[in-house]
Structure 1
Amino acid sequence: MNRVLPLAFLLALSAPAFGQAVDAQGAKQLSDELSRYVGKQALNEGILKISAEEGAYKITFDVKALVAKMPKQDLKRFDFPPVTLRVKPRSDGGWDVASDFSTTGSIEVNGPNGLNTGQIVVKDGKFTGVYDPELAAFTSGTSSIAGMTMTSRQVSQLTDLSVGLGSSKFDARKSANGGVDLNFTQAMADFVETVKIDDRSIAALRAPELAVNVTAKAIQTKPLLDLLAFAVAHEDEARMKADQAEFKTLLLGALPLWERIDGTYAFKNLAIETYAGNFGAAQLNTVVGMDGISKDGKISYAFKVSGLTIPQQMLPSWTVALLPTDLDLNFGGANIDLDSMARKTIETLDFSKDPPLPADFGDEISADFLAKTPKFVLGHSTVKNGDIEVAMEGEMTFPDKKPDANVTIDVTGYDKIVASLQEAAKTDPQASQAFTGALAILGFAKTLPDGRVEWVINARHDGSVTVNGAMLKGPDPVVEDNTDQDAIPGEGNNGGAGAKLQP
């Protein structure tokens, strides 16, 4: 029950409204519909209440009452007010939904090292939206807050987070490929997070603007609701065993869960204050994207920074001119076959056995996954400073559990790097070493027609490494069982590493 109740408000609206009259009979009908997803116990014990008031249904979720029914364990105190929704039937079968989610709450938990506490305050929280039971999603919605603060204390560490005005907007529509397409945007002002340890400030993160953008394609909302209803109706272990065939059918019907989800967090004029100095960025974006459970899935991560500033007091003076000011880093995975893993797991699952999956199933499915040659991908990435730009891209696979990697590195302005190091080498031994290394690395480079220098690096699972087609290191020798105490180093089981670059 405690797992499904947080979804109660949405699921309570799973029956089409079609302008029905708001009365006690309608509240009873809505309660019966809701019980499919949360169980009748929650309604019987007052954790969830539905009543007809002033032309709308009032749905109340008493979080404190729910927690009181759970095992106490290490929870010392939980104090949050009930959350309420006002829902009104629409003539098109949807529901108008509104809520004031302003709140003040706190929690205390006995941790292994002492008492942990948390507090949250949300000021003037408002939400309105239109829910479509056929899509099992909001077709539109907006929310806003006047401000929010969160405080967490764990023995010697104190974390404070606060934001000012905030707003969000979202909408959904039927996907061409089944399921629901979703767009969500959020904006927050005056984001501040500070961390103290033993009352000493360790870090403070500040941004006057924070924006979030999420898009999702083909989320399987209805099949997921069917799974939830099945789980609530089969809390009894014997019933689950008897109906596990139906459960597997529902699981398969929910695949691939979604087609694609992409999200971006964007900070503007970010400042990070630390004991080691202050960092900053005019713009910092983190981007995450992932396919659903598919045969050829992709995962992508991106970290983009412009106007980067780095504390200089702890760095040699000659490095300052070479510090990056802009980053665009892209990496992720490809050829990820989660579909075969999921289907094989569902097929093998048997609740009549203990455990439901064979003991060696994890090793078996891991071997199957690697046999499909998943790939780590370094997308086109750049590190810039003025006229200097380092660009890189490549990929890596793991045949025989050993890496095969291909990486290309291009540098614009390498002559400026060398010149800067050469000048600094006159007075700084560290710069002199870096200058020598830069010259040695340049010896392996290929100069392109536009003046860039390039290194194409190929590393094979046999241990060999080539740079621009030239062998830098040969394959590792085959390791043989040689217990001869007089064996010459470099032979037998001592092996050899081949030629190495010596700057």
Structure 2
Amino acid sequence: MQLKTLTATAVVLLGLISTAQAVDINQQGAKEIEANLSRLLPKDAAKGFVTVNPAGTRYEIVYDFAALLKKADPKNFSIKGLNPWSIFATPEESGLWTIEGNNSLDVTGAFKAPGQPNTEFTYVIDSLISNGVFDPAISYLKSGDFSSKALRFSSKTEKEEVSVETGPSTYKMTSSDAELKGRTNFAGSGTMNAFVETISGKEVPAVEIRADSVDFAAAVNGVSINDFREILAFVIEHADDKKLKRADSEKIKELLRKSFPLLTSLNETITLNKVSVSSVAGSGGADSIDYTIGVSGPSDAMRFDVGMAAKRISLDTALLPEMYAPFVPEELELQFGFPELNVAALGEELMKVDYTDEKKSSEESDKAFAKLMTNGEMVVAFPKISARSSVYDAEISGEVRGVPKSTTEYSMTASILARDFDKTITAIQELAKSNPELNQVSFGLMMVKGFGKTDPDGRQRWDVSVARDGSITVNGQVVKGAN
């Protein structure tokens, strides 16, 4: 049910006609567009979900989302206020289409998943305005601008209630030809203003999260959107098949082979500005919090990166004794990466899987995913992990290499940098006057200092290496021999 709902909803932006051509506005053209859109729908949802009608110099495309839910069990799912959406498509002399829409959403409902409590929900979107240019050559938008006045969402169970509100929001997307022939680059960016999320429940105190604005930007390059469209159509057509026929198995392999690699790079950044968090336990916040993900590199050596950074962090809570306050980081940055992913080898192995045999295909797929690791080795990189407060300023970078499921076959290289390290030791010693157990920490830091060397910028440096034989060196000095 989830798969069908998601793929059907994607049809809103996935196609009008397959080729650019002069278009007369008539009932026959409306039927052709409707049939083309319905091709990407589950059979039991195709009827009634999309309706296309001539409307003067353009077509009106009506999406009746209630049709997607017509087979839902009313005992497990109910919804009120789900009205159809209209999008108007105007053919241009260039062969492109102008897309326009102004819709809203105001629904309430309830659902119950197996083993889960009954959940009541509301979802409101005030005036979602969309304007774009659709390109039949890629079966997708060439560009688009979207805006909404406000969004409100709530979810409530017996134990917990979550609500989210935002003010005016804008979003823009563009597309362009990729370096690889027949592929497309997509980019999008936007801002959501006045974000507020409230979480409350019987067993937890209420928490409120606010952000003056949320900025987001994303880009995905080298996508074969037409191949993806064919794969989507195949998945929907065979969604109810318990087992694929041999011919169908070979067909999906060929579709996947044509679309490979699925993309050449991807990156996304989400920034929360002027963030505050408040609860009965205290409050805190930051000037900004960034989240990033990225995929890059050739298909036989791809890299997946994730990161988080926070600036001007503040914390005000009675749970934290005042003497520990200087140790709360004012700035924090975490970067992790998973390089040397052999997606090409994974793809080759998946092409060998026998999808007509469910048990066999599951075993072969597991073996195929093992090929994702180059030479059977997992690499975890940490380009930068840093924290700074009034009493410390430290940074670490490096990588760990190892064999999964083994606690001994691994190695690590890391560089640790610390500015004003003596200041950090002094702060720990001062704190140890109230907590004598910290004397051991102070003593350990002084021992560590003895292994350090000074960089030209005045920071202390420790280059650490852990070999697979268990030996450890720091700045070239052996501090532990092989096992």
Q: Shared fold (TM-score greater than 0.5)?
A: yes
Superposition pairs of residues 59-458 of structure 1, within 5 angstroms: 59-70=61-72, 74-77=76-79, 79-111=81-113, 112-178=115-181, 179-198=183-202, 201-234=205-238, 237=241, 240-291=245-296, 294-311=299-316, 313-351=318-356, 353-355=357-359, 357=361, 359=363, 361-363=365-367, 365-366=369-370, 369=373, 371-386=375-390, 388-399=392-403, 401=406, 402-458=409-465
Q: Is residue 57 of structure 1 aligned with residue 59 of structure 2?
A: yes
| Matched residue SS, 2:422 | helix
- How many Å separate the matches in 1 of 2:432 and 2:253? 68
Contact 2:175–2:186 (CA under 8 A) maintained in structure 1: yes
Deviations 1:106-147 (A, max 9, x none): 231124353111110011111110010112221111111111
| Matched residue SS, 1:314 | coil
Which stretch of structure 1 is more off in the superposition, 408-417 or 232-241? 232-241
Which stretch of structure 1 is more off in the superposition, 24-33 or 467-476? 467-476
* Pair 363,154 (structure 1): closer, same or farther in 2 beyond 3 Å: farther
| Matched residue SS, 2:316 | coil
Deviation at 1:392, TM superposition (A): 1.1
Deviation at 1:94, TM superposition (A): 1.2
- How many Å separate the matches in 2 of 1:9 and 1:71? 25
* Pair 356,241 (structure 1): closer, same or farther in 2 beyond 3 Å: farther
| Matched residue SS, 1:348 | coil
Contact 1:17–1:89 (CA under 8 A) maintained in structure 2: no
* Pair 49,433 (structure 1): closer, same or farther in 2 beyond 3 Å: same
- How many Å separate the matches in 1 of 2:331 and 2:240? 57
Deviation at 1:40, TM superposition (A): 6.5
Deviations 1:404-437 (A, max 9, x none): 1111101011011122233333444244343223
- How many Å separate the matches in 2 of 1:339 and 1:317? 54
| Aligned Cα root-mean-square deviation (Å) | 2.6
Gaps of 5+ in 1: 477-503
| Matched residue SS, 1:355 | helix
TM-score norm. by structure 1 comes to 0.87
Contact 1:257–1:293 (CA under 8 A) maintained in structure 2: no
Q: Is residue 36 of structure 1 aligned with residue 39 of structure 2?
A: yes
- How many Å separate the matches in 2 of 1:122 and 1:293? 41
State the aligned residue count: 474
Deviations 1:466-485 (A, max 9, x none): 32233333333xxxxxxxxx
| Matched residue SS, 2:188 | strand
Contact 1:335–1:373 (CA under 8 A) maintained in structure 2: no
* Pair 51,462 (structure 1): closer, same or farther in 2 beyond 3 Å: same
Structure 1 segments of 4+ aligned residues over 4 angstroms from their partners: 39-43, 70-73, 76-79, 232-240
Deviation at 1:366, TM superposition (A): 2.0
Give the % identical residues. 21
- How many Å separate the matches in 1 of 2:332 and 2:51? 52
Which stretch of structure 1 is more off in the superposition, 227-236 or 12-21? 227-236
Structure whose CA Rg is larger: 1
- Paired residue type of 1:82: P
Contact 1:322–1:417 (CA under 8 A) maintained in structure 2: no
| Matched residue SS, 1:22 | coil
- How many Å separate the matches in 1 of 2:302 and 2:66? 41
- Paired residue type of 1:206: R
- How many Å separate the matches in 2 of 1:457 and 1:151? 50
Partner residue in 2 for 1:467 = 474
Contact 1:63–1:81 (CA under 8 A) maintained in structure 2: yes
* Pair 422,221 (structure 1): closer, same or farther in 2 beyond 3 Å: same
* Pair 408,70 (structure 1): closer, same or farther in 2 beyond 3 Å: same
Deviation at 1:460, TM superposition (A): 2.6
Contact 1:84–1:101 (CA under 8 A) maintained in structure 2: yes
Deviation at 1:386, TM superposition (A): 4.7
| Matched residue SS, 2:17 | coil
TM-score norm. by structure 2 comes to 0.90
Deviation at 1:201, TM superposition (A): 3.7
Deviations 1:169-213 (A, max 9, x none): 111111122411111111111100010012864321101111011
Deviation at 1:232, TM superposition (A): 4.6
Which stretch of structure 1 is more off in the superposition, 103-112 or 282-291? 103-112
- How many Å separate the matches in 2 of 1:3 and 1:317? 50
Contact 1:42–1:48 (CA under 8 A) maintained in structure 2: no
* Pair 217,119 (structure 1): closer, same or farther in 2 beyond 3 Å: same
